[in-house]
Amino acid sequence: MNTIWLFVLAALLSVSYNASSDEAAATTNAQQRAADELKQAVDERLTSAAKNAPERPGDFSMLINGAKLFAKNCAQCHGPRAQGFVNWQRRDASGNFPPPPLDGSAHAWHHPRRHLVNTIKNGGRTMPSFGSKLTEIEISNIIDYLLSLWPDEIYSVWAERNAQFEKRSP
């Protein structure tokens, strides 16, 4: 999907070039129409993905519980809205990356649910483990809460990838 946006950006940049001749103006108009058509196609695809997003797990009480557990255990590092650190992609003085966003804007959605559970349970490079502090259900509630924050397009892709992973892994 990023490739499509690069094409859109390139098309829009080429359209913004100020042409002086009639021929250049006609080319610019054609480029503008092409860019508009491409943007419309991308928007339709994103809208379709959002409309066809699979149902998200968890009922309201589980999501509320996940939000409370996130606030108590995770927000200190990942931010109150799961937004992570501003420069989460840059290593700190110790050579570690700060806590990333978990709101669908970073890489958490690239990982299957099993991996997310494992990371919460066992920790990571700088993340503490919560396996002795949180139950399986509490961890699941936190993940369901995080999934509820993700845009439909991101959730759709994650759900499909997660289902494929579950089919391949015992």
* Closest to 77 in 3D by CA, of 96, 94, 101, 108: 101
Pick the CATH number of 60-168 from 2.40.50.140, 3.40.50.460, 1.10.760.10, 3.40.50.300: 1.10.760.10
Residues of the chain with pLDDT under 50: 1-20
Name all contacts of 93-102 with Cβ < 8 Å and 24+ positions apart.
96/125, 96/126, 97/125, 97/126, 99/126, 99/127, 102/74, 102/78, 102/146, 102/149
pLDDT of 56: 84
* CA distance linking residue 64 with residue 111, whole number of Å: 23
Non-local CB neighbours of 110 within 8 Å, separated by 6+ positions: 158, 161
Please provide residue 59's backbone torsions phi and psi, each rounded to the nearest 5 degrees: -95, 175
Q: Which two tokens stand for residue 7?
A: 């094409």
pLDDT tens digit string along 70-96? 999 999 999 999 999 989 999 999 999
pLDDT of 26: 67
Q: Which two tokens stand for residue 153?
A: 């397009």
Q: Which two tokens stand for residue 33?
A: 């129409």
Q: Which two tokens stand for residue 56?
A: 């998200």
For 50, left (φ over 0), alpha (ψ -120 to 50), or beta?
alpha
Domain ranges of the chain: 2-51, 60-168
Q: Which two tokens stand for residue 6?
A: 């690069």
Cα dist. 37→60, 98, 99, 112 in Å? 40, 40, 39, 34
